[in-house]
Amino acid sequence: MNHQASTPAWPRLSLSAVARTLDLAPEVVDRLTPVAGPDGPRLDVPDRETADRLLTRMNTEPEDRATTLAARPDPDGDPELCWLLDRSARLLISQLGQRRPGNPAWAALPGGPVARHLFVWVFLTVTPYVRDHHAAIGLSDDESWASLSALGSSLAGDRRINGRPGLDATWGLPMTFSGTGFRLGRLAYERQPRHTAPGHPILRPGESALNTHIPGNAGPLTPAACDASFDRALDLARGFPEQVAGFGCHSWLMDEQLADHLPAESNIVRFQRRCTAFNDRVRADWAPILHVFRRRFEGPEVPRALLAELPQRTALERAVVGHLRAGGHWYNQTGWFRRLP
Ligand SMILES: CC(C)(COP(=O)(O)OP(=O)(O)OC[C@H]1O[C@@H](n2cnc3c(N)ncnc32)[C@H](O)[C@@H]1OP(=O)(O)O)[C@@H](O)C(=O)NCCC(=O)NCCS
């Protein structure tokens, strides 16, 4: 489907001029270089009414909808940001359905409210293209909107953690809005490039695993909900050119030390037991502090004063804090298990 705008909207600028004015980091310049030229589709940035409808469909909280709509970039007032919006959207469209090796986060843009919401406008601009792509790979309409609702939950999550509206650095949203990341029921996934080298924990050369995410605020991680989601993912993967042969999940929830603290029948422990191998272990005390308590801290050690403030109502809250108090650490690692479509 053609979603191109009929009239040119955005200013003609060069990447180097925009990079200078906005003080863009070298990795942002590298990212945009392939789409810096004058060619390519002229994109239709949604008007406020359309944007409001899309944001609502993406389960965006009213407060985040309001700050986004108030921060729609204006070609006269924000020419560099508008150029950046246009090229970032073109980049996502040029990568629809293609997952490349390496995937740096999109760092938060420094600046005021328009800069902090700029990538929201990028994602809204590419939404019609991603929706077409979802239909082409076999996602249902509901699965498509549930996938794009990652934008609503990121806005709410970042606002709660930072105490101000707008998006932080985002690793997952560029994948969602280039169609390689999607939500299927309880879990979310990202397609991965084929694995090439021997020695992988579960994959043979040429095979690929779906990267699995466990969204918060979505109810318990019941085995039945996970089974249904994995089955649906394998069903969808039959249509992918890469040979999907299993799942990998990189998270603090894959730290096997959790099983020393939680009951054997807890959902987290039962999820871990699906995995037949673990690797990529890295110390990450910040991860349970962020994901369980929505708190951040500076430096390598969790401050004692912060530990003293954290609620201790549930078994997990007590496990996270008790283990740190006893001098232990928490780790991110990847759990893997093999399953073929
Ligand atoms: C993954 C998740 C859904 C599991 O919840 P669950 O299905 O209730 O998990 P379990 O059955 O293993 O819970 C065991 C215990 O931990 C508690 N618990 C689980 N997740 C909790 C959370 N996020 N905050 C506080 N307590 C939690 C449960 O209440 C239970 O304790 P209780 O028996 O005292 O009530 C939940 O932890 C969550 O939403 N986490 C955030 C998402 C996340 O971090 N994703 C990965 C990002 S890398």
d(CA 123, CA 57): 13
pLDDT tens, position by position, 33-60: 999 987 676 789 999 999 999 999 999 9
- CA–centroid distance, 220 to ligand 1, in Å, is 7
pLDDT band at 6 (very low <50, low <70, confident <90, very high): very low
Q: What is the whole-number distance in angstroms between the Cα of residue 268 and the centre of ligand 1? A: 7
Q: Kind of pairing, strands 243-251 and 207-213?
A: parallel
* Pocket perturbation via mutation, ligand 1, pick of 170, 189, 314, 320 by most ligand atoms within 8 A of CB: 314
Mean pLDDT of 118-126: 98
- Same domain, residue pair 173 and 223: no
Pairing of strands 187-190, 207-213: antiparallel
Q: Do 171 and 154 share a structural domain?
A: yes
| Boundary-marking domain end, from 143, 158, 181 | 181
**Is 50 exceeded by the pLDDT of residue 70?**
yes
The residue whose CA is least distant from atom 42 of ligand 1 is: 216
Over the Cα atoms of the chain, what is R_g?
21
**Helix, strand counts (H, E) of the chain:** 16, 6
Domain boundary, last residue among 149, 181, 213? 181
Single out the residue in 148, 181, 214 at which a domain terminates: 181
Which residue's CA lies nearest to atom 27 of ligand 1?
316
- Do 233 and 302 share a domain, yes or no? yes
Residue 64 and residue 103 in one domain: yes
Query: What residues are in contact with ligand 1 under a 6 Å CB criterion?
Result: 214, 216, 220-221, 251-253, 262, 266-268, 291-292, 314-317
Residues 162, 205 within the same domain: no
Cα of 292 vs centre of ligand 1, distance in Å, is 8
- The predicted model gives 256-262 an average pLDDT of 97
* C-alpha–C-alpha distance, residues 320 and 261, integer Å: 9
Domain encompassing residue 275: 185-341
Strand partners, 106: 170
- pLDDT at residue 321 in the model: 98
The pLDDT of residue 166 is 97
Q: What is the mean pLDDT of residues 141-147?
A: 98
Q: Same domain, yes or no, for 174 and 232?
A: no
Distance 156 CA to ligand 1 centre (A): 19
If asked whether residues 200 and 309 sit together in one domain, one would say: yes
- Indicate if 175 and 201 belong to the same structural domain: no
Q: What is the pLDDT of residue 7?
A: 44
Strands (DSSP E) contained in 82-213 are 181-184, 187-190, 207-213
The CB density around residue 223, as the number of other CB atoms within 10 Å, is 13
Most informative mutation of 266, 269, 274 for ligand 1 (most atoms within 8 A of CB): 266
Calculate how far, in angstroms, residue 262's C-alpha sits from the geometric centre of ligand 1.
10
- Do 168 and 200 lie in one domain? The reply is no
Give the span between the Cα atoms of 338 and 32, in whole angstroms: 36
Nearest Cα to Cα of residue 314 among 249, 274, 263 = 263
| CATH number for the domain that contains residue 205 | 3.40.630.120
Number of domains observed in the structure of the chain: 2
Whether residue 27 is found in the same domain as residue 173 = yes
**Could you tell me which residues come within 8 angstroms of residue 278 by beta carbon, excluding any fewer than 6 positions away?**
201, 254, 256, 333, 334, 335, 336
| Shared-domain flag, residues 216 and 123 | no
DSSP state of 338: E
CB 191 within 8 A of CB 134: no
pLDDT of residue 33: 94
Residues 256 and 167 both lie in one domain: no
Atom of ligand 1 nearest to the CA of 219: 3
The SS3 assignment for 96 reads coil
> Rounded to the nearest whole angstrom, what is the distance from the C-alpha of residue 294 to the centroid of ligand 1?
13
